[in-house]
Homo-oligomer: A and B are copies of this chain.
Amino acid sequence: MHRFFNPQSIAVIGVPARTGDGSFNNVETMVRYGYKGKVYPVNPKATEIYGRKAYPSVLDIPETADLAIISVGRDRVFPLFEECVRTGIKRVVIISQGFADADQRGKELQDQIVNLARENGVRIVGPNTMGLLNNYARFTTGFVDLPVPERFSPVSLIAQTGYIQVASVDHAYRSWGKAVDIGNSCDIHFVDALEYFADDPETKVIAVHMEGMKRGAKFLEIASKVTVKKPIVVLKTGRTGAGAKAALSHTGSLVGEDSVFDAAFDRTGIIRVRDTADWRLAIKALICFDEMAGPRVGIVTVTGAGGIMAIDACERQGLALAELPAGLSETLREGMPEWIHVGNPIDIWPIGMIGGDYPGAVGRALTGLLQSPDVDGAVLIIPAMNSPLHQNMADLSPVVAEARRKTGNRKPVAAFLYADEHKEFPDRYEALDGVASFDSPEECVRGLAVAYKNYQGRNRRGRSPKQYPIDTTAVETLAGEGRREGALLGDSAFLLLEVFGIPCVKSRYSGGTWDELEQAAAGLAWPVVLKLAGSPFLHKSEWGGVITGIRDIDALKAAWETMTQSVRRRDPSVKIETFQLQEQASGKELLLGLKWDPQFGHVIACGMGGIYTEVYRDISRAIVPIDGIDAETMLRELTMFPILTGVRGEKAVDMESLVDILERLSFLAATIPDLSELDVNPLIVSDQGCRAVDARILW
């Protein structure tokens, strides 16, 4: 990848002969941008392009170029790519559209190219890409005349589009240091780019624009290692169903259910943002701030109203208001009238005005906050006026610098410099270590929240999923049956769960007649539950197919009659072949599940069970494998968590056993990698333990 970003010589294949307005001439844009290496235009219809000798074919250029760029109609790409391979070129950017992004024919053309590349060890960026940008080397492969940025940040961008390179003024902080548009990512992919930027000394922050993901598990594995060293901030788009559909036609990549991405990023330390505005803000915070080592925010503000806005934002962002450091109130109130209060936020305006030393008051307040061990970061809300009448209210960056110097730490300071008409002041503050300016009180807090997330991501614990001794022969037998049948339902599913130590209720199956049912009941303790079983009755409750609380044999007979009639009424052609009789467990209803995700592998889920699962959607998810702490986190994330710990005098459920079951389920998924779906619904949990009451497993 390094050579992709720093080529010494480039063949530009398909470059137009024409230059100037409307020509989209790559050689012109590249040279105007300041690229200093050798450029070989390839165009059989020209002898010279933008002052450089043009070659009829890549075969004619006098050296083996480090990089070729191909930009022609899709049907002409393959033969030209083949010529590149023949000359020994090892890196190609294919700009042309119309491949997997377009239709089946495009997909085939793309595969043809990929096969040839693989056979010859050639790496490709694209197709359907704007390619590469490297501001350290003044290098761009784009056909758009980008302005050379005055300043850029050590942020490297991996995107599934070129527009974010073009729109750097809109989306980057200053400008991107490096950027790659992976386009259809037929070869060079998120994973390759991530690996390169991970060790790239010119990259401090990695920004990712992602529409979909193909090698998800590998991406997570690498990301998990990278975030310990440098932050990764991901804008995942195509969140919704409609967006996902458009993404498919845009880059031909797979787009997953959005919550799976959340689960996937969750414990890798990746910072996920909601939209482009948040992305930009997060990037700025990650460049300007070190990590913030805790959630406690101190606020110095000239406006009480702005302080309240910051408080609102703290609550939303999960940050806390710091306790006012001991003694700070006394220091600030010295010589003030008695009605002056000092709290956090510190309303510095009356203190500055009455005391006649506004900058001094701000300095004392900020220093007091930064030096306190109970404050992790600060928000500063002050005007930055350029009136000759308010020279004291113009530039307090020296005051901030002094507070920084005195306290000797790098706790983040997020400043909202309001009334700064011409944005004259942010640079002076941002020249200081750990200081950034934002556009509102709320954005200051969001900036700090990013710094705190970065800290949490960097300092997260490692996972240690448990292994369990299991009867591997039994697993093979049952999984084999599942593979053959496509599914394990009811008792067979229970058998597999029990092999993995997941407890299930005792149950019996019987035929549809009363005699058979009566016989089955003999082995069970009352009360029992009667259920319809068998393939016509996947959604039992729609058939009136569950009757609970059956206390004796007479009640069972009544239930049998009711259920038989109910099925007959709904569909006389359906015959009941099998009943299931279960001992009745009582407690809270949970749901446990596994689902194979093509991008990230098995996803484990738990949440509110029963027939209202889909109404409340109170489900938490994680990528397999999980350990005990992951399992506990999943449970804590549920809205219903307080119900598990006991509300209004109820007993807490057996949490230890619940966590154990989640870990065992994760181990099950890891042991049977081809399992596509597993549902335990409900799992009945109480203070007496947990028991699966119904289960189905699909292959």
**Chain B residues closer than 8 Å to A250, beta-carbon distance:** 304-305, 307-308, 347
Q: Which of A303-345 contact B (CB under 8 A)?
A: 303-309, 311-316, 321, 337-341, 343, 345
Q: How far is the CA of A246 from the CA of B316 in the complex (A)?
A: 16
Of the stretches A185-193, A221-229, A398-406, A416-424, the one at the interface is A416-424
- Report if A277-B616 is in contact (Cβ < 8 Å); known contacts: A240-B312, A303-B161: no
Q: Is the CB of B614 within 8 A of A647?
A: yes
Q: Is the CB of B539 within 8 A of A648?
A: yes
Partner of A144, one of B170, B385, B541, B642: B385
A543: Cβ under 8 A from any B Cβ: yes
A611: Cβ under 8 A from any B Cβ: yes
Q: Is the CB of B237 within 8 A of A309?
A: yes
Stoichiometry, as copies per complex, reads 2
- Report if A616-B616 is in contact (Cβ < 8 Å); known contacts: A145-B385, A308-B247, A390-B21: yes
Q: Which of A128-181 contact B (CB under 8 A)?
A: 144-145, 147, 159-164, 166-171
**Chain B residues closer than 8 Å to A615, beta-carbon distance:** 639-640, 642-643, 647
Q: Chain B nearest CB: distance from A358 CB in Å?
A: 9
- Report if A237-B312 is in contact (Cβ < 8 Å); known contacts: A145-B390, A275-B442, A391-B21: yes
A102: Cβ under 8 A from any B Cβ: yes
Q: Is the CB of B542 within 8 A of A239?
A: no
Q: Which residue of B lies closest to A301 (CB)?
A: B163
Q: Which residue of B lies closest to A150 (CB)?
A: B421
Q: Chain B nearest CB: distance from A466 CB in Å?
A: 30
A527: Cβ under 8 A from any B Cβ: no
Q: Is the CB of A389 within 8 A of B159?
A: no
Q: Which residue of B lies closest to A338 (CB)?
A: B103
Q: Is the CB of A339 within 8 A of B276?
A: no
Partner of A387, one of B145, B251, B303, B392: B145
Of the stretches A22-30, A115-123, A658-666, A687-695, the one at the interface is A22-30
Q: Is the CB of B418 within 8 A of A647?
A: no
A408: Cβ under 8 A from any B Cβ: no
A350: Cβ under 8 A from any B Cβ: yes
Chain A, 238-278, contact with B by CB distance < 8 Å: what is the 0/1 string?
11111100110111000000000000000000000001110
A609: Cβ under 8 A from any B Cβ: no
Partner of A246, one of B28, B307, B420, B614: B307
Q: How far is the CA of A395 from the CA of B614 in the complex (A)?
A: 49
Q: Is the CB of A242 within 8 A of B311?
A: yes
- Beyond contacts A145-B385, A250-B307, A277-B439: 6 other A-B pairs, Cβ-Cβ < 8 A, are A98-B337, A166-B383, A237-B305, A243-B312, A277-B277, A611-B650
Contacts from A to B (Cβ < 8 Å): 20-25, 28-29, 32, 73-74, 97-98, 102-103, 105-106, 144-145, 147, 159-164, 166-171, 209, 211, 237-243, 246-247, 249-251, 275-277, 302-309, 311-316, 321, 337-341, 343, 345, 347, 350, 353, 383, 385-392, 416, 418-421, 439-443, 539, 541-544, 611-612, 614-616, 639-640, 642-643, 647-650
User: What 3 pairs between A and B have smallest CB-CB spacing?
Assistant: A161-B305, A163-B303, A542-B649
